[in-house]
Amino acid sequence: MDLLTWVQIPVLALRGVFMELENVKGTIDELPERALLRERIADTLKGVFKKYGFVPLNTSCLQKFETLTAKGSGGEEIKKETYNFDDNSRRRIGLRFDLTVPTARLLSENKSVTMPLKRYEYGKVWRYQEIKPGRQREFYQFDIDIFGTKSLLAEAELISCAVEGFKALGFKEFKIRLNNRKLLKEMIKYSGVNEEKITDVFRSIDKLDKIGVEGVKKELEQRGIKKETPKIIEVIQISGRYDEVLNKIKKILGKNEGIDELEELAGYLNVLGIENQCIIDLSLVRGLEYYTGTIFEISAEGLNVSFAGGGRYDSMIQQFGGNEIPAVGLSFGIEPIIQVMEKKEEETATAQVFVAVADSTLKNEALKIADSFRKQKISTELNLSEKNLSKQFEYCNRKKIMFAVIVGSRDFREKKATVKNMLSGEETMVALDKLSEYVVSVVEEKKPKRK
């Protein structure tokens, strides 16, 4: 064995160790800047949800596999994407693939909950799916659901709540795609497809964005649906203003429950002033098989990525053994929202104020000042290093902190401290007994642009 081989052996061994310690593909690790942005998005949405009367309800990440794969839950396709394993008692356990199925299971077991119930939940879910920008295998969802009413006012409230949430995050323009599973089912039957094949057609249409029209044609033929395919393709290309599309479909189908529901919903959205942002799109399926009526997706600012989607699922809770409880929900895709906002964000400060220490003998005084700011609800970082002022300022700039309060021996003898605006470089001497009041006033002002 030559010298090169002896050198390579430990290197390769070390490489193997490091490979084993890599993150699991498709899962999330986040540094503070991204985690703070995620937290801000969640807090903003939560504030909007509470305005509409939604309350928190939380479910376990671990569920029995038979719950996640039960009839009326995710369906056959999602079963392939569900992470599952045997625990030490040889019970089949799965990681939840969404927040809806565990909630339905919870409500089926708790029959005394007062209805209607408006709930929100924020948490991680897992799906073994293709990884691409904005789509991981471990990701967060933020759901709002309304249980215990068949009124289409519930759908209108969910859509209105979503639009207000996006506006609160800084988005301005929206596209709301609407469809109805009852209407789509009748349109597919109109294409000549037998009842037992409709679910297969839904599964194929749902892949339209991924595989395109030709891919859908090919998949339908592979499912044994050939002569009906041209008419199906014609149907799913129907989209546009809700009044134009529904009038067109009425001429084909006549009276239809799905059409009636979409017309009623459009009326409510008209009252809310958001009907002009809505289109009927018969290619919209929503992949999960538990949907029974209205379905919808929302994207913002002309982006093709859906930021939120959902629909009505009136049968799930009863199928789980609970009471007959109609339900409708909407889920926010936090990852694509973060991706877009990261590109727009200029300031991602972890704190508003940094207390810089110019003299190490004044650490106690600096600690008191930081504590006084925090009691005023000012997000504050205290210098924890032995670095000089120049290095402390560099840290502030890297963290994009607006203001530094400098605690130095000369100023302190005069019972003063220096407040430095890290954006403009301007410095202001402030009396210690006025320091908290002054800092509160400057951090509440509008941020100037960083030079």
- From 287, 309, 344, give the residue that closes a domain: 344
Judge whether 1 lies within some domain. Answer: no
256 and 367 co-located in one domain: no
Pair 360, 306 in one domain: no
Q: If you write DSSP's letter for every residue of 219-235 in order, what string do you get?
A: HHHHTT--TTHHHHHHH
For residue 349, what pLDDT band results from cuts at 50, 70 and 90? low
In a domain, 284, yes or no: yes
Q: Are residues 78 and 175 in the same domain?
A: yes
Is residue 325 assigned to a domain?
A: yes
Helix segments in 76-126, DSSP class H: 76-79, 100-109
- Cβ neighbours of residue 31 closer than 8 Å, sequence gap 6 or more: none
Q: Which of 293, 317, 344 is the last residue of a domain?
A: 344
Over residues 173-209, the pLDDT tens digits come to 888 999 999 999 998 888 888 888 888 888 888 888 7
Do 294 and 328 touch, CB atoms closer than 8 A?
Answer: yes
pLDDT band of 381, cuts 50, 70, 90: very high
Judge if 311 and 366 occupy the same domain: no
Main-chain dihedrals φ then ψ at residue 118, nearest 5 degrees: -110, 115
Query: String of b and e for 39-58 (b: at least 16 CB within 10 Å)?
Result: eebeeebbebbeebebeebe
HEC string of 118-141? EEEEEEEEECCCCCECCECCEEEE
The verdict on residue 327 lying in a domain is yes
Yes or no: say if 354 and 403 are a contact pair by the CB < 8 Å rule. yes
CATH number at residue 256: 3.30.930.10
CA distances from 353 to 90, 372, 403, 420 (A): 53, 12, 5, 10
Residue 377 resides in a domain: yes
Average pLDDT over residues 362-370: 92
Provide the pLDDT for residue 210.
81
Per the listing, tokens 């597919």 go with 188
Structural domain tally of the chain?
A: 2
Digit-coded pLDDT (tens) for 132-141: 877 789 999 9
Residues 43 and 90 in one domain: yes
Per-residue model confidence as pLDDT tens digits over 30-83: 888 889 899 999 999 999 999 999 999 999 999 999 999 887 777 777 888 999
Judgement on whether residues 154 and 289 belong to the same structural domain of the protein: yes
Same domain, residue pair 432 and 358: yes
What tokens does 320 get?
A: 């789980």
Q: What sign results for the dihedral spanned by CA atoms 43, 49, 51, 56?
A: negative
Band of the pLDDT at 450, cuts 50, 70, 90? very low
Answer yes or no: do 194 and 295 share one domain: yes
For residue 264, tell me if it sits in a domain.
yes
Q: Are 337 and 377 in a shared domain? A: no
CATH at residue 418: 3.40.50.800
The pLDDT tens digits of the residues spanning 233-249 come to 888 888 999 888 988 89
Angstrom CA distances, 223 to 182, 195, 397, stand at 22, 14, 59
Question: Mean pLDDT over residues 421-441, rounded?
Answer: 90
Domain that holds residue 233: 32-344
Domain final position from 293, 309, 344: 344
Question: Which range (4-18, 355-369, 406-420) has the least confidence?
Answer: 4-18
Amino acid occupying residue 50: K
Of 292, 334, 337, 335, which Cα lies nearest the Cα of 310? 292
Position 301 scores a pLDDT of 65
* pLDDT score of 8 more than 80: no
Confidence of residue 302 (pLDDT cuts 50, 70, 90): low
Are the C-beta atoms of 319 and 71 separated by less than 8 Å? yes
Count of all residues that appear for the chain in the document: 451
Which residues have C-beta within 8 Å of that of residue 243, sequence separation ≥ 6? 266
The DSSP output letter for 422 is T
Lowest mean pLDDT among 293-297, 370-374, 445-449: 445-449
Rounded distance, CA 298 to CA 282, Å? Answer: 15
What six digits make up the tokens of 29? 């690790």
As to burial, measured by CB atoms within 10 angstroms (0-12 exposed, 13-18 middle, 19+ buried), residue 289 is buried
Give CA–CA dist 378/35, Å, rounded.
19
Cβ(418)–Cβ(405) under 8 Å?
yes
* pLDDT at 268 (0 to 100): 96
Beta strand 403-407 with 353-357: parallel, antiparallel or unpaired? parallel
If asked whether residues 188 and 324 sit together in one domain, one would say: yes
The two three-digit tokens of residue 85, written as one number? 């394993």
pLDDT above 50: residue 104: yes
Name the amino acid, one letter, at 186: E
**SS3 category, 146:** strand
386 in the same domain as 337: no
The predicted pLDDT at position 260 comes to 94
Dist. CA 304–CA 369, nearest whole Å: 49
On whether residue 21 sits in a domain, the answer given is no
Q: Strands 308-312 and 294-300, how do they pair?
A: antiparallel
Give start and end residues of each alpha helix (H) in 227-344. 229-236, 242-253, 257-271, 316-319, 334-344
Residues 6+ apart with CB under 8 A from 374: 380
Whether 134 maps to a domain, the answer reads: yes
Segment 151-168 shows an average pLDDT of 95
DSSP 61: S
In sequence order, the 6+-apart residues with CB closer than 8 A to the CB of 222 are: none
CA angle 428, 431, 433 (to 5 degrees): 140
Which pLDDT belongs to residue 319? 86
User: Are 102 and 241 within one domain?
Assistant: yes
